[in-house]
Amino acid sequence: MRKLVFGVLFTQLLILHSYKAKPAGINPAGDTVIIRLKNKNQVMVITEKSRNLDSFKNINLNKLISDIDSVFKAGEKDLNGTRLDMEIFKKDSTLRIRMMKDRKGGETTMYKAIVRIQDPEASAADNDTIYKEAGRKSIHFFKISDDDEFDDAFQIDLGWNNFLSSNGSLPSDQNKDYGIGPVWSNVVSLRLQKFFNFKKKSDLFTLSTGIEVSWNNYKFDNDVIIKKGPNTVQFEPFPADQKKIKSKLAICWLNIPLMFHYNAPKSSFHLAAGGFAGYRLTSWSKTKYESEGNEKKDHETSNFYLNGLQYGARIQVGFFDVDVFAQYNFNSLFSANRGPALTPFSFGFTF
């Protein structure tokens, strides 16, 4: 979302610049953008020089707007009837924020924030003049922590599962007992990622890692029930007095992803490639069938001779906040000689 908001900002800057916008009291060499929030409050972004936008690119814009909006919502109590000043200190520049309220007749109150991207080459006297331009003494000062260049990201995968036999074919194409239905064999993953940049002032290439919980469901095409036999996993037919409605194997994994990201400049396009390793938390079978006119369900928790660990490769590509992903395991689903040699893979969408 931060990239989307900044994309809108950058477009507006270009439009304003093309019309030679020169707000009163602003250096003509800079630019100005006004962001209107849902509650009709305003955030005005001012750059003293156009090149100062490079400093703004590294600011956590999403968090900045959220913090400003939260102060607006607090209203007169926090603003104390006048204004509130904030500072974000960066190594190459300082972002100064002045928040004021304007009364426009009766009880109507509108809050305004002026975000000044301060010129790092300006003298201390010039900066002091900019800071006191409202002609009133500040009431509060506080810092917004912005040490991290990138947001932590919470992502959700929604997709489909299948697996390949040792000869590279789909078991369902060969009518194997363990062939699965691709439409209803789904995967849901919840992932929290932490991003790191390789270059301090650029997000062209980034690295991410984190933690993920993933649920993989494999729904069998044929009328079979997965069982843990004495030495191997078995796929037994339903009893004659039972009519299959659904039969599946479900696995819950705790995964650690490691991804390398490329973010195209001046575009929302991004690409990521990397790998993952996971530990199996639990696994179970679930059958749903009809017997003597009644619908019944059976549930069995077992390891089914599944591998306790998994590892593989992942790639994803997308625009804005929606990606398409594909994931492939490098190890077999079942332990060696305990079940068929099957290699899982999945694909779908990341939000």
What are 192's strand-pairing partners?
Answer: 154, 211
Contact 116, 130 (CB under 8 A): yes
| pLDDT exceeds 90 at position 89 | no
Average pLDDT over residues 223-235: 96
266 band by pLDDT with thresholds 50, 70 and 90: confident
Place of tokens 């494999």: 218
Is residue 193 domain-shared with residue 278, that is, in the same domain? yes
140 vs 329, higher pLDDT: 329
Phi-psi label, residue 331: left if phi above 0, alpha if psi -120 to 50, beta otherwise: beta
Average pLDDT over residues 295-300: 95
Is residue 336 domain-shared with residue 204, that is, in the same domain? yes
How far apart (Å, rounded) are the C-alpha atoms in residues 17 and 101? 27
φ, ψ at 77 (rounded to 5°): -60, -45
What are 234's strand-pairing partners?
Answer: 227
Helix (H, G, I), strand (E, B) or coil at 321: coil
What are the pLDDT digits (tens) for 178-215?
999 988 999 999 999 998 887 765 678 899 999 999 99
| pLDDT exceeds 80 at position 281 | yes
| pLDDT exceeds 60 at position 111 | no
321 band by pLDDT with thresholds 50, 70 and 90: confident
Is residue 130 domain-shared with residue 160, that is, in the same domain? no
Helix (H, G, I), strand (E, B) or coil at 255: strand
Is residue 189 domain-shared with residue 88, that is, in the same domain? no
Summary mean pLDDT of the chain: 75
| pLDDT exceeds 80 at position 275 | yes
How far apart (Å, rounded) are the C-alpha atoms in residues 227 and 234? 5
What are the pLDDT digits (tens) for 12-64?
443 333 333 333 333 444 556 666 665 556 666 666 555 555 555 555 666 66
Domain boundary among 120, 143, 166: 143
- 99 found inside a domain: yes
Contact 178, 151 (CB under 8 A): no
Is residue 119 domain-shared with residue 239, that is, in the same domain? no
- Number of structural domains in the chain: 2
Domain boundary among 92, 111, 143: 143
Structural tokens at position 289: 């069938």
How far apart (Å, rounded) are the C-alpha atoms in residues 167 and 179? 14
Is residue 101 domain-shared with residue 163, that is, in the same domain? no
At residue 139, the pLDDT reads: 29
How far apart (Å, rounded) are the C-alpha atoms in residues 244 and 112? 64
What are the pLDDT digits (tens) for 114-164?
565 555 454 444 444 433 433 333 323 333 333 334 457 899 999 999 999
How far apart (Å, rounded) are the C-alpha atoms in residues 152 and 170? 37
Structural tokens at position 5: 């908001």
Could you tell me the pTM of the whole model? 0.60
φ, ψ at 47 (rounded to 5°): -115, 130
Full residue range of the structural domain in which residue 28 is found = 2-143
Average pLDDT over residues 245-260: 97
Structural tokens at position 16: 């304003």
At residue 112, the pLDDT reads: 60
| Domain CATH code at residue 197 | 2.40.128
The dihedral over CA atoms of 306, 311, 317, 321, expressed in degrees to the nearest 10, equals 70
The pLDDT > 90 percentage for the chain reads 48
Helix (H) or strand (E) holding 124: helix 124-131
DSSP 238: P
